[in-house]
Amino acid sequence: MKPLTYYIDRLITFVYVASLAGGVLVCTTINTDAADANKRIVNIRSVASTTDIDHMSADDFLLDTEKAADKEDLREYLDKLRRNGVNNNTSEDEDALDDEALWADEDVKEDTEDKTDKEKSEEIKIDPDDWHLMLVNKQNPVPEDYEVNLAKINGSMYVDERIIEDIYKMMDAASDDGVDLMICSAYRSYDRQRVLFNNKINKLMGQGLTYLESYKVGSMSVTVPGTSEHHLGLALDILTGSYTEMDDGFGETQAGKWLAANSADYGFILRYPKGKEDITGIIYEPWHFRYVGTEYAKDITERGVCLEEYLKGGL
């Protein structure tokens, strides 16, 4: 029979061997888990490099690899990266974008050049000697030798024959829009203008003003004989059947608003605009329209200037 110490030594040996075997098993398991984790990371890299979601690169997906490895739904993680602004384009894509931006700049440049060329080609030459722009005011009276060929509008009213067609067009257009226009004054001779001016002076003097005061005040609304555009046959006083007073109120009527907005299409301008009294020397007259031709009329109206300003360069 073997001594007790023999069996004790065997037991110690068995326990030692068993502990070694267990250590190997644990190490193998740890290494296997680490390999699996590495494999999952590699898989993420693979997906990242092949996905076409916003051109995300593999490095983008490794900004938080541990969190990525814990995700059950890789698509959800990719979407989160996209929402967080992870979007590195390849150099090829960047070149494409640069080319696109370059072409866009070229297009803008070409459009700008085309617009500039168009504006230059459409720039209107202001010719003070053009009959359309003939300036008549207190400083520029109608030439003594001025002659006008008149054409009848209706009744006893006449205008320069060169503008009568546009007058009819304007009247017809207003009528089509339901606007009632009524021409109450057109061409006036020197004698007729003198009568109107003297009547104005006498009326003001009857109100207590001196002759000089009456002359100064009166010439702001009734032009001095020889300085009236009506003598050119190019001016019209226009009212409407429902409003026959020559005052500021006409500008607020349907007819007054229609004329202000549309008369330029037929060659007419509001000759004495509000706010230009110091320049024109005449009060605001929303009923007085002067023919200058369609091209000039539209340009003057768009610039918001009076005729005096326009002839000085549109300042």
Q: Which residues are catalytic?
A: 285
> Phi/psi class of residue 173: alpha, beta or left (left: φ > 0; alpha: ψ in -120 to 50)?
alpha
152 beta partners? 158
Q: Which helix (H) or strand (E) holds 222?
A: none
In the chain the first and final C-alpha atoms are separated, in Å, by 133
φ, ψ at 277 (rounded to 5°): -60, -40
Find the angle CA(190)-CA(159)-CA(258) to the nearest 5 degrees.
115
Rounded Cα–Cα distance for residues 171 and 166 (Å) = 9
